[in-house]
Amino acid sequence: FYGSGIQVFNGPKVTSIGNNAFRKCASLEMVNLPKLETIESTYAFAECTNLKSVYFENVVSLAATTFSSDKKLERITINRMINSDGSNMPATMTIESAAPCKIYVPYRALSAYPSIWSGKPVVSFDISATSGGNTYILSDNNGRYVLIDFVPGKTTTSLTLPATISA
């Protein structure tokens, strides 16, 4: 995919990624890799100038250069429980200092993460739910759930939220 015009990459069965796999994909905005555990390759998503959202279900290891020069990166969601001693926590990665990125992790795993990781704030979410192949990341806001991330299992043109969820 190096330098291609791909906009969304949904890789539900992808378990590994090679060097420069998505590097310089200027149109890439969203990545969903639920089965991926390791990115040891260099610059896998580097220089993706419009990349905004990345979702990992089981990631354990990320190369330091995975998101190098991604200035629009807004969120990385790592939906993985981390041991309380942090022994299975992904290594620090390079995230562009200008990127408004937050790193979302499960509430029950928050204590294993530093409050600032790779120079970016770590924020917890309360619920990860999958329905119809789509994944919803929700946070409890005084008894009302707020949608903080949506990861489509397939390309969608619209999304209807239940009345009990606010965007």
How is 36-102 classified by DSSP, letter by letter? --EE-STTTTTT-TT--EEEESS--EE-TTTBTT-TT--EEEE-----TT-TTPPPP--B-TTS--E
Which span out of 63-67, 92-96, 131-135 was modeled with the highest average pLDDT? 63-67
pLDDT at 113 over 70: yes
- Whole-model pTM over 0.75: yes
Q: What are phi and psi of 141, to 5 degrees?
A: -120, 85
> 157 falls in which pLDDT band (50, 70, 90)?
very low
Q: What residues are paired with 50 via a beta bridge?
A: none
Which span out of 22-31, 38-47, 78-87, 127-136 was modeled with the highest average pLDDT? 22-31
pLDDT at 167 over 60: no
Q: What is the pLDDT of residue 87?
A: 67
Place of tokens 């979302």: 104
pLDDT at 166 over 60: no
pLDDT at 27 over 80: yes
